Amino acid sequence: MRPSWMLRLFAALGLLVLLAPGLLVLVVSFSAGDFLTFPPPGFSLRWYQALFTHPGLMAALGTSAMLAALVSVLALLLGAPAAYAIARLDFPGRDVLATLLMAPLLLPTLVLGLGLLLVLQPLGLVATWPGLMLGHSLVAIPFAVRIMTTAFAAVPKELEAAAWTLGATPLRAALRITLPNAAPGAIAAGVLTFLVSFDETVISLFLVGPRLTTLPVEMFRYAERTTDPLIAALAMSLIAFALLMVAVVERLMGFTRAMGRD
Amino acid sequence: MSDAAPHLRLERLTRHYAGAPAPAVDTISLDLPRGALLALLGPSGCGKTTTLRMIAGLERPDGGRILVGGQDVTALPPHRRQMGVVFQSYALFPHMTAAGNTAFGLEMRGLGRAERARRAQVALEMVGLGALAGRKPRQLSGGQQQRVALARALAIEPELLLLDEPLSALDAKLREGVRDEIRALQQRLGTTTVFVTHDQTEALAMADLVAVMDAGRVEQLAPPEEVFERPATRFVATFVGRAARLKGMLEPGGVLRCGGLALRSTADLAPGPAEAFLRPHRVRLLAPTEAPPPGFDNLLDATLARRVYTGEVIALETETGAGPVMAELHAGADEAWRGLAPGAPLRLAFRAADLAVFPAS
Amino acid sequence: MIGWLLAAPALAVLALAFVWPMAGLFRISLNRTTETGAMETALTTESYAKLLGDAFIRELVWNTLLLAGSSAAIAVALALPVALMVRAASPRWRGPLALMAIAPLLVSGTARLIGWMAILGDNGLINAVLMGLGLRDTPYPLINNWTGVRIGLIESLMPYAVLVLIAGLGRLDPRLEEAAATLGAGRLRTFLRVTLPLAAPALLAAWLLTLVLGISAFITPRLMGGGRVFVLATEIYDQALEYVDWPAASALAMLLLGGLLLLMLLRAAVARLGRQRA
């Protein structure tokens, strides 16, 4: 049935609410003024300039990028075998394992971050690379496992069986047949895990310090204190980056399939 | 078929599925000589595919043994059995070309790149796809994909060739041609082959031996002609080919009393309630004054109930005093009978040996 | 067995990053804080008692529940038309529409809130419109208060609601609505008498999910509240990092977890009922 005009109106309203912040960030980031004024007094690139020459934020950007890269690689390496097992093998407690690996995503990041702080602080691991990597892996691994499980499950079982009958040991079949065919999914998992770590805010808030901090935390702190368009430029850059990454995933794998429709 | 010892032997092979009341495969035993082609024929769910998968090592039997060339392979994982498998869905590796697919088994055996490529090319040419070696599966038609799957299985020069419903995914027009090609190739190579099908025409046309299966058991294991002409069980009589079913009482001396009429049969069973099956092509239509040919001991008066035109054959369904009997007319022959209309009186004759009699179920 | 072996490295990391900290959290909630503010190792429920006896905390929890509950309800209400639209749209549009609704999830929460600051702030879009049209002389305070927090929270919860609703509505047979139409029901009547009642389980599920998310919300209340809005999450943060009262922070966190556990059990029960009805 074709949707009524009322439905269209309300749906448009809903979408407007969802997309408005993004649009505003875009506009204000090019503002020539000194505050988050709308409409902006003029347009200029000054805040982008200020952003890319801001030492504190750029240092944090480098940290976040490096951290996200390391965490996503780690999550892929650890998650792939687990995902393969869940998707392709039949063993007792398989569903329990799947649930255990998803468990961290069920709790609020606030609580997860607090717990990490409590145990890592006495060991002096707060504001260190190991500490941050541990904290980010906590949410990255479940994500990676989830996406890769879907990717592995999508490879027809008969392909592996065919490889076995041709003389491939189960290991060789997994590496030569299943993995290459699941590769797009693995790449999608990598990209999305990178984003998850790159944007991770709350856990990081508990685990950063003067000697090591991440971009989302610095952005948060900046937004708490000041309201100038620099933060909008930063926000816009992050939004653009995230959208670009998602476009890449969509190209590779079809986004909704990558998320694994429940 | 020269070797005395069977190339493939299944010994009391059994497989259960959890939660199912009856076994999927129920103590199946059969022998297959070297170079022969065996068809596992039966309706869906009869256990034929499960049996094939057990031979391939893709499923583990719950009981029994599988011997190839005298060796017990039951515990061997699939990658250690020397068997070429063609799956119903072909299962071609989408990320490799036809040549890559075909060479895969050779790669697993450690052959060098040049040797692999050569033998893969030979295999592809055997199935007529030499020119398409560089294509990926998605660039090939269904029929071409099937040939690549076949080439891939044959390239490793397997002990056994196993085919799971190889023709079912093909268009009806292609099926006959491919069927004959597979058979010709198999005979040329002399590879012992087992193939699974639910299509009896395929089984009868291709196989040296047919195993008719139902509910996990082999009802009859025999060459095609024997299965068709001398069905061993009621199931085979009704599953393979068409047959009329006559119910009655078997008396001593092989006389079957149906509907008050006495039919002569060669049945060697204890007297009692019985069912007899009669194939249409064994029934001779007699002209009103024609005498039955010698040996045709059974003569029935019949009324034509239905005629069904299917092109090559006109199926006639008649009613007799003994029950419904089926006859057929062939296109081109029997011009005199073509004008028959329902209700027309007929005289039918058939031999005593043509009645396949079984105890009533 | 091999499955567990393959997953062992991942499980090991999660044990380190998840199990150990949660155990630590529980353990520290049983410690006590001395008058000087230092943490003293103990095995007592004192911290819990202090929290539950504190009127400020009780009011805090109540406000959090109210905020989360109402924001979740509005989020679901706003998400429903979007989900219905996705369902009713032609297949060509369905994907892009769904993507637009879910895209905000991929963008960091802080970035979106900055957008809201530009919309709700004294110099922002809404006030520009209001003052420009002459409806007001001074800016209407939509930020640094509960209103701003509510709006930001609603927007952040909507994508989740849309996801749940799309899944739930997907099970609704469109022929039921067609049948209603052939029986004479207009669009609105069909919606009220057929679609809505059938969608009720999905709506409830969406509300419960967003409620769970809303109760633990931290960034939105913090940024949109301007330091004046206190919810459970901000209090936990303050206790842990500002006052460094770890027993209090962990006790509060455990209480939060307890409440969430109850809600999750409720969600599971509702889901089971929903499946039985279907």
Residue B247, min C-alpha distance to chain A (Å): 47
Same domain for B349 and B249, yes or no, is yes
- As beta bridge partners, residue B278 has B244
CATH value at residue B53 = 3.40.50.300
Domains for chain C: give ranges and CATH numbers: 44-277 (1.10.3720.10)
B180 inside domain: yes
Q: CA angle, B243 as apex, B239 and B247 as ends, to 5°?
A: 105
Q: pLDDT tens, B324-344?
A: 888 888 877 666 677 778 888
How many residues does the structure list for chain B? 361
In C235-264, the residues whose Cβ lies within 8 Å of chain A are 236-237, 240-241, 246, 249-250, 253, 256-257, 260, 264
**Chain A CB contacts of C89 below 8 Å:** 3
B280 inside domain: yes
**Domain boundary at B187, B217, B236, which?**
B236
Q: Which residue from A minimizes the CA distance to B155?
A: A166
Find chains touching chain C: ≥3 CB pairs under 8 Å.
A
Q: How far apart are CA A204 and CA A212, in angstroms?
A: 10
**Chain B CB contacts of A162 below 8 Å:** 85, 87, 91-93, 152
Does C223 lie at the interface with A, CB-CB under 8 angstroms? yes
Q: Is the dihedral of CA B262, B265, B270, B272 positive or negative?
A: negative
What distance, in Å, lies between the first and last C-alpha atoms of chain B?
Answer: 38
By Cβ distance, the residue of A164, A166, A170 closest to B152 is A166
How many residues does the structure list for chain A? 262
Q: Is the dihedral of CA C35, C41, C44, C45 positive or negative?
A: positive
Same domain for B156 and B101, yes or no, is yes
Does A25 lie at the interface with C, CB-CB under 8 angstroms? yes
Same domain for B228 and B260, yes or no, is no
Residue B93, min C-alpha distance to chain A (Å): 6
- pLDDT of A256 reads 47
The closest of C208, C212, C217, C204 to C258, measured between CA atoms, is: C212
Q: Do B93 and A163 touch (CB under 8 A)?
A: yes
Same domain for B157 and B36, yes or no, is yes
By Cβ distance, the residue of B83, B94, B109 closest to A165 is B83
Does C125 lie at the interface with A, CB-CB under 8 angstroms? yes
CATH value at residue B316 = 2.40.50.100
Give me the domain span that covers residue B172. 8-236
Same domain for B251 and B171, yes or no, is no
Q: Are A36 and A146 in contact (CB under 8 A)?
A: no
By Cβ distance, the residue of A134, A238, A261 closest to C111 is A238
Same domain for B61 and B123, yes or no, is yes
> Given the DSSP bridges, would you call strands B8-15 and B63-68 parallel, antiparallel or unpaired?
antiparallel
B320 inside domain: yes
Domain boundaries, chain A: 70-225
Percent of chain C exceeding pLDDT 90 equals: 43
Residue A214 structure tokens:
């991440």
Residues of chain C with pLDDT under 70: 274-278
Please tell me the number of Cα atoms within 13 Å of A183 on its side-chain side: 7
DSSP string, B103-161: HHHHHHTT--HHHHHHHHHHHHHHTT-GGGTT--GGGS-HHHHHHHHHHHHHHT--SEE
Residue B297, min C-alpha distance to chain A (Å): 55
By Cβ distance, the residue of B56, B87, B105 closest to A167 is B105
Structurally, how many domains does chain B consist of? 2
Q: What is the mean pLDDT of each successive set of 10 residues along chain A, which is 262 residues long? A: 79 92 89 82 86 90 95 95 90 90 91 94 91 94 92 90 92 90 88 92 93 92 87 89 84 54 36
Q: Provide the 3-class DSSP secondary structure of residue B183.
A: helix
Say whether the peptide bond before residue A39 is cis (omega within 30 degrees of 0). yes
| Residue owning tokens 């039918």 | B348
B101 inside domain: yes
Select the residue from C22, C110, C113, C183 to test the A interface by mutation, using most A Cβ atoms within 10 A. C110
| Residue owning tokens 């060459």 | B223
Q: Do C98 and A27 touch (CB under 8 A)?
A: no
B1 inside domain: no
Q: How far apart are CA C114 and CA C101, in angstroms?
A: 19
Same domain for B246 and B177, yes or no, is no
Q: How far apart are CA C198 and CA C176, in angstroms?
A: 10
Alpha-carbon distance values, B184 to B101, B181, B190 (Å): 23, 5, 10
Residues 6 or more apart from B266 whose CB is under 8 A from it?
B254, B352, B353, B355
Does A166 lie at the interface with B, CB-CB under 8 angstroms? yes
B13 inside domain: yes
**Domain boundary at B236, B261, B293, which?**
B236
> Given the DSSP bridges, would you call strands C39-40 and B209-214 parallel, antiparallel or unpaired?
unpaired
What distance, in Å, lies between the first and last C-alpha atoms of chain C?
Answer: 37
What distance, in Å, lies between the first and last C-alpha atoms of chain A?
Answer: 26
Same domain for B221 and B270, yes or no, is no
Q: How far apart are CA A148 and CA A136, in angstroms?
A: 18
> Given the DSSP bridges, would you call strands B217-222 and B209-214 parallel, antiparallel or unpaired?
antiparallel
Q: Do A91 and C249 touch (CB under 8 A)?
A: no
Same domain for B302 and B317, yes or no, is yes
| Residue owning tokens 């509907």 | B259
Q: Do B156 and A164 touch (CB under 8 A)?
A: no
Tens digits of pLDDT across chain B (361 residues) = 445 678 999 999 999 988 788 888 988 999 999 999 999 999 988 899 999 999 998 889 999 999 999 899 999 988 888 899 999 888 899 888 999 999 998 988 888 999 999 999 999 999 989 899 999 998 999 889 999 999 999 999 999 999 999 888 888 888 888 899 999 999 999 999 999 999 999 999 999 999 999 999 999 999 999 999 888 998 998 898 888 898 888 888 888 888 888 888 888 888 889 889 999 988 888 887 888 888 888 888 889 999 888 888 888 899 988 888 888 888 776 666 777 788 888 889 999 888 888 988 7
Element (H, E) at B8: strand B8-15
Average pLDDT, chain C: 88
Q: pLDDT tens, C212-268?
A: 999 999 999 999 998 889 999 999 999 999 888 899 999 999 999 999 999 989 888
Does B57 lie at the interface with A, CB-CB under 8 angstroms? yes
Find chains touching chain A: ≥3 CB pairs under 8 Å.
B, C
Q: Which residue from B minimizes the CA distance to A171?
A: B79
Amino acid at B330: H
Question: What order of strands is seen across the sheet that includes strand B298-309?
Answer: B284-286, B345-350, B298-309, B313-320, B323-330
Total beta-carbon pairs less than 8 A apart between chain A and chain B: 65
Q: pLDDT tens, B261-308?
A: 888 888 888 888 988 999 998 888 888 788 888 888 888 888 999 988
Q: Which residue from A minimizes the CA distance to C103?
A: A243
Note whether B touches A: 3 CB pairs or more under 8 A: yes
Q: Do C99 and A242 touch (CB under 8 A)?
A: no
Find chains touching chain B: ≥3 CB pairs under 8 Å.
A
Q: Residue B318 — φ and ψ, nearest 5°? A: -120, 160
- pLDDT of A2 reads 67
ipTM for the predicted complex comes to 0.88
B3 inside domain: no
Q: How far apart are CA A238 and CA B57, in angstroms?
A: 53
Same domain for B109 and B182, yes or no, is yes
Alpha-carbon distance values, B197 to A218, B48, B148, B209, C94 (Å): 67, 8, 20, 13, 42
Same domain for B154 and B294, yes or no, is no
Residue B335 structure tokens:
């011009």
Select the residue from B90, B93, B150, B160 to test the A interface by mutation, using most A Cβ atoms within 10 A. B93
Q: Do A167 and B77 touch (CB under 8 A)?
A: no
Q: Helix/strand/coil (H, E, C) string of chain A? A: CCCCHHHHHHHHHHHHHHHHHHHHHHHHHCECCCCCCCCCCCECCHHHHHHHCCHHHHHHHHHHHHHHHHHHHHHHHHHHHHHHHHHHCCCCCHHHHHHHHHHHHHCCHHHHHHHHHHHHHHHCCCCCHHHHHHHHHHHHHHHHHHHHHHHHHCCCHHHHHHHHHCCCCHHHHHHHHHHHHHHHHHHHHHHHHHHHHHHCCHHHHHHCECCECCHHHHHHHHHHHCCCHHHHHHHHHHHHHHHHHHHHHHHHHCHHHHHCCC
**Chain B CB contacts of A158 below 8 Å:** 87, 89, 91
Q: How far apart are CA A20 and CA A126, in angstroms?
A: 37
Q: Do B109 and A177 touch (CB under 8 A)?
A: no
Q: Do A111 and C253 touch (CB under 8 A)?
A: yes
> Given the DSSP bridges, would you call strands B83-86 and B160-164 parallel, antiparallel or unpaired?
parallel
Does A154 lie at the interface with B, CB-CB under 8 angstroms? no
**Chain A CB contacts of B77 below 8 Å:** 164, 169-170
How many residues does the structure list for chain C? 278
Q: Do A10 and C108 touch (CB under 8 A)?
A: no
CATH of domain A70-225: 1.10.3720.10
- pLDDT of B155 reads 92
| Dihedral Cα B199, B205, B209, B214, nearest 10 deg | 10
Q: Do B58 and A167 touch (CB under 8 A)?
A: no
| Residue owning tokens 């429903």 | C80
Alpha-carbon distance values, C230 to A45, C61, C144, C236 (Å): 36, 9, 11, 10
**b/e C31-61 (16+ beta carbons within 10 angstroms → b):** bbbeeeeebeeeeeebbbebbeeeeebeebb
Q: Are B195 and B40 in contact (CB under 8 A)?
A: yes
**Domain boundary at B203, B236, B269, which?**
B236
